[in-house]
Structure 1
Amino acid sequence: MTQFKKFYDLSQPVYDHCPGWPTYEPTVVRYEATYEKNRFNAEQIRLNSHTGTHLDAPFHFFPDGKTIDQLDVSHFQGNAVIVDLRGIIQAKQGIDASHLEPYADKIHEGSIVLFDTGWNEKRSFDKEYTNDWPYLTGEGAEWLKAKGIKGVGIDTLSMGGWYEGTGRPCHEALLSGGIWILEEISIPDELAKLGSCYLMAFPIKLKGFSGGPARAVAAV
């Protein structure tokens, strides 16, 4: 069995009125019981399933696609390649094949690819984070699909862009190929410098859902 020496939490926290997709209702957290009144704490949360660090299943864009609970749990882990785009990719810019070619010899069938754009550090309600993030183009998605990867993650609100014509292409290309999408992760500098890791990102088993919150963890 592989002995890992260090674990990194790649998940963004979910909390009351945390940043999320601009058109979704905000996340609301409240206490249903408190220690002061009930001598124990219990919380209630209302959130869209695509909030914070989460996985997209094919059903997200295809009505006959598999839902998050139907995906094989073994696929949510594996060897991951970190594509370092910090200082390279800009706001509203698409990630295409030219950004992926330098990693061609590291990305193989069954690989997981993680995009490190640095946008995780911008998490807020600022327009740069909620609208102008960099995204994967349809061309870039087809390049990854041809490689036979099983999953791809990014440190922005979505794998696709906010603006018209930039959101659907990569989702449709990836999800039609059974490739799951992990969004809004946070890759620490220490891990980014290593260039690779073993990723584990298991979504909540939400029956019939198009996606689900996940705790993404990297091990080295």
Structure 2
Amino acid sequence: MNIIDLTHTISENMPVYPGTDGPKLDVASTYEKNGFKETLLTMFSHTGTHMDSPAHLFSKRTTLDSFSAEQFVGKGLVIDCSDLKEGEKITIKYIEAVKEKADKAQFILFHTGWDKYWGTSSYFGEYPYITEEVAEYLLGSSKKGVGLDVIGIDPISDENLTIHKKLLAKSDIVIIENLTCLDKVGDDLFTFCALPLKFKNSDGAPVRAIAILDDNKQNFNLI
């Protein structure tokens, strides 16, 4: 079994969505004074590698804490879109090229390669993004979730959050943003886990996202 971490580390100097305060990690207790170390974490719910719930945009929709834990584990598929240039769209042709596997997957993860810009101003540039047709496929095939290695599922210029709204308005799909290392997973189905911090009425939360690879496919018995 091979486990690949798909999660960026939270730190005080990490990239955050423009206009959002960065996280603070204050040492509240020390070995010298208290005999142990404890850290006070202060951060927004959509910090780093994180998950959006339907309640992120709609007040009466599903919060992360009300989901069963089963929602956050399933068959994943990474789709390689790293050939795209700045601002280009992830069209349905990327789904159609791997349609048989995509139909079986419960999570579709788009690898754009944009995580190479993590920590630079370019990360907030014109990254590739999915079209409404791709969003319709995700909804029509009842996926548990969709993920990308960029800061948002909508282009940075779309203040209306068109794709977010299309996905979250009526479906219980979740969105995982700021993934990394998707290029290490390969192009076969695998077990994907993205477990959000569980707090009451959570509109979103940081996740520890991992890929579990097993050549014998025994990992699918867990799903």
Length-normalised TM-score, structure 2: 0.89
The code of the aligned residue for 1:199 comes to F
| Identical positions, percent | 29
Partner of 2:152: 158
- The within-5 A match list for 1:133-212 is 133-164=127-158, 168-175=161-168, 176-191=170-185, 193-212=186-205
Q: Deviations over 1:149-193 (max 9, x none)?
A: 11111111111111036x6222122223211111111125332x3
Secondary structure, aligned partner of 1:107 = helix
The answer to whether the 8 Å contact 1:138/1:170 transfers is yes
> After the TM superposition, which segments of 4 or more aligned residues of structure 1 sit over 3 Å from their partners?
none
The code of the aligned residue for 1:210 comes to D
Length-normalised TM-score, structure 1: 0.90
Partner of 1:68: 64
- C-alpha distance in 1 between matches for 2:105 and 2:183: 25
- The within-5 A match list for 1:1-220 is 5-86=1-82, 88-108=83-103, 111-126=106-121, 128-164=122-158, 168-175=161-168, 176-191=170-185, 193-220=186-213
- C-alpha distance in 2 between matches for 1:91 and 1:118: 11
- Identify which range, 180-189 or 201-210, moves more after superposition: 180-189
1:121 shift after superposition: 1.7
Secondary structure, aligned partner of 2:102 = coil
Q: CA RMSD in A?
A: 1.7
- C-alpha distance in 2 between matches for 1:84 and 1:109: 17
- C-alpha distance in 2 between matches for 1:10 and 1:40: 30
The code of the aligned residue for 2:88 comes to Q
Q: Deviations over 1:36-92 (max 9, x none)?
A: 332211101111110111111000111111111111210111111110111x22222
The answer to whether the 8 Å contact 1:69/1:206 transfers is yes
Q: Which runs of 5+ in 2 are unaligned?
A: 214-223
1:109 shift after superposition: 5.9
Secondary structure, aligned partner of 1:140 = helix
- C-alpha distance in 2 between matches for 1:109 and 1:149: 9
